[in-house]
Chain A
Amino acid sequence: MNQVGVIMRAKLLMAGHAIASVRHESKLKVGVIGISVVALWVGALLLFLEGLDWLTRFGGGIGSIIVVRMLGVLGMVVFFMLIFSNVLVSFSTLYRSREVNYLVQAPMSFRSFFLARFVECVAFSSWAFAFIGSPVIIAFGITNDAPPGFYLASLLYFLPFVVIPSALGAMITLVLARIFPRLKMRTMALFGCFVILMFFVYWQRSFDAAQISEDSLLPAILDVTAQTQSALLPSHWAARGMLAASDGEYREALFSFGLLASNALMVLWLAANLAGRIFYPGWSGLAGQDRTRIRLPGRGILGRLDGLLAHVPNPVRALVVKDVKLFWRDPAQWSQFVIFFGIMALYIANLRNARGQLQQEFWRSWIACLNIGACTLILATLTSRFVFPLVSLEGRRFWILGLAPLSFHRLVWQKFWLSVATTSVFTVGLAVLSAYILRLELVYFALSVYSVLITNFGLAGLAVGLGTLFPNFQEDNPARIVSGMGGTLNFILSVGYIGFVVGAQTLILQWRVLNLFRSEQAFYVALGCVVAFVTALSVVSTIVPMRLGLKNLRLMEF
C-alpha cells in the first residue's frame, strides 16, 4: 500500500473507533442529538420543497427560470465559500496540526503528504455542504419530477465539485504560507482589510442593482444573477449537468460530469505539485519565524484591560481578562469576527432598499418581524461560533482552573455574563440602528430591541450551557469544536428558540394588520402575553442548559 493509502487507512480506523465510542456515550445524549439532526434535515427538506414548489408555480413559467437561477446563485456562493473555508482549514491541517511534525519527518514526499492531508481538508470543509445541500437537491428533484438518474448524477457531481474549490483554497494557502513569513503582520492585516473592503463594495453594488420594482422583477433578477451563468464556473457546470439529468438528458449530464471530473483532477494535480515544490520552504519559514513577540503591560487596550475592569472583583476579572486576550490574540477568532461585522454592515446598508415597501402597513409589520429574525439569527451565529467553544477551549489547561479555589458555578456563569455583555453591545446596537433606518413605529421599535436584548440571554445560556454539557477538551481549534455534535445541537436549538421568539411576535403583529383584534387594548394585552412568553422562554433557555452543563462539569474528570 502506498503512503497516502497507509495514512488514509489509519484515519479511517480512527474514524471507526470514534464512531464506535458513541456506544459509550449517554444514550439520552446521542438520542437527542440524533433526533435533532434528523429533524433539522427533514425540516430543511420540507422548507425547500414548499419554497421551490411555490417558486415553480410563480408567474406561469417565470418561477422555473428563477429556480434555475437560484440554484446557480447557490452553487456559486457554495463554490466561493468552499474556497474561503479551505484557505482556513488547509492552513490548520497542513501547517498547524499536531500530526504535521510527525508526518514531515517521515520518509515520504511532500506531494504524498499533501494528498493525505488534503482528504481531511475536503472532508472538514464540505460535510456541512453535503448536509444542507442534500435537501435542496432532493427538493428540486421532487418538485421537477426528476428521474432516478438525477439523484445518482447529483451524488456523482458532489466529489469533483468540492475537490475543485478545496484544491484552489489549498493552493492559496500554500502560496500565502510561502510568502507570509517574509511579510510583516501589519502589512498582512492591511491587505486583509483591503480585500474584505473590496468584497463588501462589490456585494453592495450587486445589491444596489437589485433595487427592483414589481414590473421589472424578472429582468432585474436575470441581470443580477447573470454572473452565475459564466461558462468558466464549475458551479455552472454542475448546475447545468444536474438540470440535464433532471430532464433525462444523460449525454449532456455525462459531459458536465466529465468536465467537472477532469478539471478536479487537473486542479488536484496542480495543487499536489505546488505542494511538492513550496510546502516545505513555507512550513520551514513559518517554523523559523522571529519568535520574539512582546506584549508589555499597560500598553494598548488589552494591556490596560485589568485597569479598565478594576471594579470587577477577582477571580471574575482574571477570567474575563484572560478570555478577552486569548480571543483577540488569535487571528482565526478575530478574523471571523470581522467577517460577522461585514455581514452586519451589509445588512444595515441594504435595509434602505426595503424603505420603498414601508408605505404599506402589511409590509411594515413583516419587515419589522423579519428584522428581529435577522438580528437574532446573526446573534445565534455569533454565540454558536464564539461562545459555544469557550469552555472546551480551557481543554488541557483545565488543571489550572480545576486547581484554583474557584467553583465551577462561578466559572461557567462568568462565561455566560461575558457573552451577554459582549454580544449585547453589537446586537442591541444593530437592532436599534436597523429599527431606526426602517423608521419603525414605537411599538415595533420597542419590540425589536427588547426581543434582541432578551435573546442575548437565551442564546448565551444555550451556547454556554450546551458548550459545558458537550465539551471537547481534546481540540484547540474552535472551528472544529463548533462542528462537533454539541455545536450542531446548539445551533439547531438556537434556531428553534429564535423560531419561537420571532414566530410569536409575527403572529400578533400580523393579526393586528389583518384587524383580527377587537380593539387596540386587546392587541396590547396580546402583546404583553407575547413579551411574557418570550421572557419565560428565554429564562428556560438560560437556566436549563446552564444547570445541565454545570451538573456535567461537576461529574467530569480531567
Chain B
Amino acid sequence: MIRTENLSKKFGDTHAVENLNLQIEAGEFFCFLGPNGAGKTTTIKMLTGLLHPTGGRALLGGHDIQQQPIEAKKIIGYVPDSPFLYEKLTGREFMRFVAGLYRMPENGYMENTARLLEMFEIHTVADQLIEDYSHGMRQKLSFASCFLHEPKIVIVDEPWVGLDPKNIRFVKNFLRQKTREGVTVFMSTHTLSIAQEIADRIGIIHNGRLLHMGTVPQIMSLAEKPGSLEDVFLELTQDNDA
C-alpha cells in the first residue's frame, strides 16, 4: 500500500532522509520510530506530498504522490502532531468543508459526520467555533475529519499529544480496528510502549537512515541485553551515535 524507493531529502548539504526503502502492506500497522531530528516528519511530509523529495519516489496505493497527487491523496488520511484548523469554523462546518474537498455525496457526509463526531465524543461541541476547543478536542476533530472520506491509508504524526488516557486508549483501539478492516496505518511516535503494544512492524530511523525494520520480536532480538522496546531503541540509536 505504501512503497518508497530510495526516497531522499536534502536541506542544503544536510541529508534529512537518505535512500529510504519501505514496503508496507494493506492492513498493516507500521510504527516509525526515531530520535528528534531523525527524519520522521520529513518522511511523513514526503509521503503526503507536502515536501518534494530530492531523490527517489513514494507510491501510495500504487500512485506516485508527485506524479499522480490527486489519485494518491484521495486514499490518504493525515493527522498532524499540531492540528492547526480553521478557528472561525465550527467543528461540524469543518467536517462539511473536508467533505466538500473530497467531493463526498451529501448522504455519505451526513452519516459519516454524525457517526465520527459521536465516536470521538465531540458531538456535544460540534456547533461551537473551533477557536474555543481545547488541544485534545482539536486533535479528536482532526482524527474525525481524517476518517471522514474513509481513507485506505492513514498517516499519523505523534497523535497522542493532548489526548487524555481514555482517548489514547480509544484512538489506539480505533486504529487497530481500522487495520483489521484493511486500512494501512503509518504512525510516527515517541511513545514506545504503545508502538510495542500495537505495531505489526516497526522501522527505526536515525540521522535520516533506516537503521532497522521488522516485527516487534525481531527488533527486540537486536538488543545485546533483553529489555523493553525503549531499552532496545536507546541501545540501537546510542550505538549508532557512537
CB distance from B236 to the nearest CB of A (A): 30
Whether the Cβ atoms of A402 and B103 lie closer than 8 Å is no
Question: Using a Cβ–Cβ cut-off of 8 Å, how many residues does chain B contribute to the interface with A?
Answer: 36
**Cβ contacts B85-107/A at 8 Å (1 or 0 each):** 11011101100111111111000
A318 to B85, CA, bound (A): 15
A297 to B100, CA, bound (A): 16
Q: Which residue from chain B places its CB closest to the CB of A401 in the assembled complex?
A: B101
A102 within 8 A of B: no
Whether the Cβ atoms of B98 and A325 lie closer than 8 Å is no
A318 to B148, CA, bound (A): 15
A326 to B98, CA, bound (A): 15
A-B interface, 8 closest residue pairs, ranked by CB to CB distance from nearest: A318-B100, A329-B88, A404-B101, A396-B84, A291-B132, A314-B100, A405-B73, A558-B50
A148 within 8 A of B: no
- Number of cross-chain contacts by CB at 8 Å: 107
Contacts of A318 in B (CB 8 A): 96-101
Whether the Cβ atoms of A297 and B102 lie closer than 8 Å is no
A146 within 8 A of B: no
From the candidates A293, A295, A403, name the one contacting B48 in the complex (CB within 8 A).
A403
Q: Which residue from chain B places its CB closest to the CB of A303 in the assembled complex?
A: B93
Interface residues of B (CB under 8 A from A): 45, 48-52, 69-71, 73-74, 76, 78, 80, 82, 84-86, 88-90, 92-93, 96-104, 127-129, 132
Contacts of A314 in B (CB 8 A): 99-101, 103-104
Q: Which residue from chain B places its CB closest to the CB of A294 in the assembled complex?
A: B127
Contacts of B127 in A (CB 8 A): 294-297
Whether the Cβ atoms of B128 and A294 lie closer than 8 Å is yes
Q: Which residue from chain A places its CB closest to the CB of B155 in the assembled complex?
A: A403
Whether the Cβ atoms of B50 and A405 lie closer than 8 Å is no
CB distance from B125 to the nearest CB of A (A): 9
CB distance from B146 to the nearest CB of A (A): 9
Can you spell out 15 A-B residue pairs with CB atoms less than 8 angstroms apart? A295-B93, A314-B99, A314-B100, A318-B98, A319-B100, A321-B93, A321-B97, A325-B93, A329-B88, A329-B129, A397-B84, A399-B78, A405-B69, A405-B73, A557-B50
A315 within 8 A of B: yes
Contacts of A306 in B (CB 8 A): 96
CB distance from A301 to the nearest CB of B (A): 14
**Cβ contacts A18-38/B at 8 Å (1 or 0 each):** 000000000000000000000
Whether the Cβ atoms of A404 and B73 lie closer than 8 Å is yes
Q: Which residue from chain A places its CB closest to the CB of B73 in the assembled complex?
A: A405
Whether the Cβ atoms of A326 and B96 lie closer than 8 Å is no
CB distance from A379 to the nearest CB of B (A): 25
Known: A294-B127, A306-B96, A397-B86. A315 touches B52 (CB 8 A): no
